[in-house]
Every structure is written in structure tokens, then in C-alpha cells.
Structure 1
Amino acid sequence: MPAKLLDNPLVVSVLGRLMEQPAHPYQLLTELRSRSEHYASAVNRGTLYNVVSAVVEQGWAVEEGQQRSGNRPERTVYALTPAGSAELVRRLDHEIRHPARGFTGFLGAIAYLGALGPDGALDALSERIERLRERSEEDGRLLAEVHAEGVPRLYVIEAEYALAQDRSEIAWLESIRAEIAEGTLSWPGHEEVSD
């Protein structure tokens, strides 16, 4: 198993989910996808199964038995080991203490915002702001529902963090959009934005 596979952020998710209760890989896949749109778009079956294999190979999880549901094939259920629990705590502690810069598609794109020209940039930023507002309103509504159902805040704190990130990004984007519209963000090679 390639060592780089152990650097995959899914390792923490798999160990964390196994901390809750033993599960088979397909169950892990469906539950992680259902918990967050971030997982839904980022987790594919092959990668998850490879991460589970790597976690088992490291001794962080062990086979606990087989499970069959209806006519489906038997699935191997895995449980977290004490070594896996210790590794989860070590990784969580490190990730929380040490902020890391991640490179996203948006970060790469915003670096070349100037290529759109002022009008194109205003249009693109306005659409992104609107999409983020819609998403944050929906996420805020869902979070409020979960809290109203009595789910402890700590169980959904990652959703709260994602919502705060979206709201912060909206505020930043609005300030950049205002600077472009007011002509205070210099735009080499372009005339001022028309009103």
C-alpha cells in the first residue's frame, strides 16, 4: 500500500467514523457522503476502499466480522483498534493546531481575476456571491433544524465552520466587487468600469 495513501484526509474521516461504531466500507462511503456535500463530491469508492485497506494494514482497524443485508453480498465490518484511536487523536490534534494552506480551484482562479476584465470580474464575482448566499442560507436553515432536533453542537461543528467560511468569503468578495465597481482596484490595461 503506498505510504502517500496514509496522507489522504479521508484517513481521519474513516478513523473518526469507526470511532463511532464498526462499519463496512460501503457503509462508510454512504454515511460520509450523506454527512456533507464536501464528502459527496470528494469521496469515490475506489479511494475509500484503498484508504480502509491502508488503515487496516497499519493496524489502526481490524476485521470484526461479516455482515449481510438482504440479497446483498457479505461485507467485511471493521472496528477501530487502540492504535487507530491513538492515531486519530494524534492527527486531529495536529490538524487543529497547525493551519495549512490548501490550494483550491477558486484560489487558482482568483489569482488571475484580471484576465476577466473589470466587467467580467464583476459578473463572475456577483454570481459566486449569489451562489454562496443561497448555499449559506440553506446550510444555516439545515443547521438550525439539526440544533432544534437536539443534536449536540459538537456533533455538527464542522458544518458550523463551513458556514462561517462561506459567510467570510461572501464578505471578502463583496469588498472586492465594491472596489472594482468604484474603480479603486487598479486594473492595468483597462478603462474604468462603466456605470
Structure 2
Amino acid sequence: MTTSAPRSSPLALTVLALLHYKPLHPYGIQRLVKDWGKEQVVNVRQRASLYRTIERLNGDGLITVRETGRDQQYPERTVYEVTDAGRETARAWLEEMLSAPKEEFPEFPAALSNLLLLTSDEMADVLERRVDALTEKLDGLEAAMAAEAEQGLPRITRLETEYLRAVTAAELEWVHAVVEDLRTSRLSWSKEQLDALAAGPVQE
């Protein structure tokens, strides 16, 4: 009987990476994710998902229980540490995630593919709201980068913020250009064109 390979995820990789530094309990992992700014790329808002990930990693033998302790201030806390298998797996996941672009299905491209449910004016209006949101996000990322630089953090610890800033800026430029094309009718179509596309190729 063969066992399936441990399933990777951004949160699972982050848990393994943090446990490389020192043994931690789940709350300590969640706190470090936030303190180190990793919540920009890893979702730890729902503690249940973190606990499920920890349970899965433990079941796969990638982490193990170091100790279970209790004090007057906190309930019982289980401290985990990474295993040798976890170290090897984390390295393999990291190399794969860095080297091979993954086929992902984010919401925004899916929404763009169904944009014709709206009129051109409605398209422009809703995309302008995205421009505002992206502008605010970009301002926040640039402020975070400036704060990180002031703290003297080496660039290697700031690459995820740098990447998010570059991606956000590129998306903002593109969405703004689409809005301009919609407002000036440079982006236009006719009902006849759409009907012809819906009808498909002419059968001979």
C-alpha cells in the first residue's frame, strides 16, 4: 500500500519554515506570522485553519509534539517542532513553489471573463472602484516597505512585500487603462459580434 505525498500549501510551508527557527505552539506561530508581516501572503485570520494545518502536518510526520505545558495565564498549550522529514519536505515545497508557476484560478480573472453581464458604463464604474482599492493597497505596501527599510531589515526579509508592491502597481496600471478605454469607447463591441461568437462557427 502506497501513501500519498504530503500536500503542500502556503500556510503549511510557513508553519514548517517558522518551526525551523524554534519550537512553537500554535498561538506563537500565529503571532510570528503577524509580527513578521507574513499575513500579507498567508491567511491566518481563521485560527481553525491553522490548527487543521498543524494537525495534518503532525499526522504526516512533518512535525511532532515537543511538549505540552500549562501555566496560570494560559490554557494547555502544545509545543511543536519540525522533524527531519519536515525539513526535507519544506525544502522540496519551497523549490517547487519558487521554480514552477502554478495553475491558479483567482476571482478577478474569472470575473473579467464574465464582464459582459454589465453595460460598458457599469464596467467602468465597478473597475474604478477597484482602481481606488488598488491605490489604497499600493499606498499601504509602500508605507510597509518604507517602515521595513527604516528598521534596517535586510532585503531578503522584505521580498514578499516588494513582490506584492510590483504586482499591485502593474494591476493598477492595467485596470486604470481599461477604465480609460471604456470611458473613451476605445474598448467597444457590438451585439452582432457577440451574437456571432455565441452562435459558434458556421457549419457547412
Contact 2:63 2:86 in 1 (8 A): yes
Contact 2:62 2:86 in 1 (8 A): yes
Aligned residues between the structures:
188
Please tell me the residue identity of whatever aligns with 2:29. Answer: L
Matched residue of 1:151: which SS? coil
Q: Distance in 2 between the 1:14 and 1:57 partners?
A: 14
Matched residue of 2:137: which SS? helix
Contact 1:67 1:74 in 2 (8 A): yes
Q: Which moved more, 1:149-158 or 1:89-98?
A: 149-158
46, 53, 56: which one aligns with 1:54: 56
In structure 1, stretches of 5+ residues that fail to align are 191-195
Q: Distance in 1 between the 2:171 and 2:134 partners?
A: 8
Query: Identity of paired residues, percent?
Result: 26
Matched residue of 1:121: which SS? helix
Confirm whether residue 185 of structure 1 aligns to residue 161 of structure 2: no
Contact 1:63 1:77 in 2 (8 A): yes
- Normalised to the residue count of structure 2, the TM-score between the two structures is 0.82
- Normalised to the residue count of structure 1, the TM-score between the two structures is 0.85
Contact 2:62 2:83 in 1 (8 A): yes
68, 79, 82: which one aligns with 2:81: 79
Q: CA deviation at 1:156?
A: 2.1
Confirm whether residue 169 of structure 1 aligns to residue 179 of structure 2: no
Pick the structure with more helix per residue. Answer: 1
Contact 2:124 2:179 in 1 (8 A): yes
Q: CA deviation at 1:69?
A: 5.2
Show the 5 A alignment for 1:33-48.
33=34, 35=37, 36-40=39-43, 43-48=45-50
Q: Residue 193 of structure 1 corresponds to which residue in structure 2? A: none
Q: CA deviation at 1:104?
A: 1.6
Q: CA deviation at 1:154?
A: 0.9
Q: Residue 202 of structure 2 corresponds to which residue in structure 1? A: none
Q: Distance in 1 between the 2:30 and 2:19 partners?
A: 12
Q: Distance in 1 between the 2:120 and 2:126 partners?
A: 10
Q: Distance in 2 between the 1:39 and 1:69 partners?
A: 30
In structure 2, stretches of 5+ residues that fail to align are 193-204
Matched residue of 2:187: which SS? coil
Please tell me the residue identity of whatever aligns with 2:178. Answer: I
Contact 2:10 2:42 in 1 (8 A): no
Q: Residue 32 of structure 2 corresponds to which residue in structure 1? A: 31
Q: Residue 123 of structure 2 corresponds to which residue in structure 1? A: 121
Runs of 4+ residues over 4 Å off in structure 1: none
Q: CA deviation at 1:37?
A: 4.2
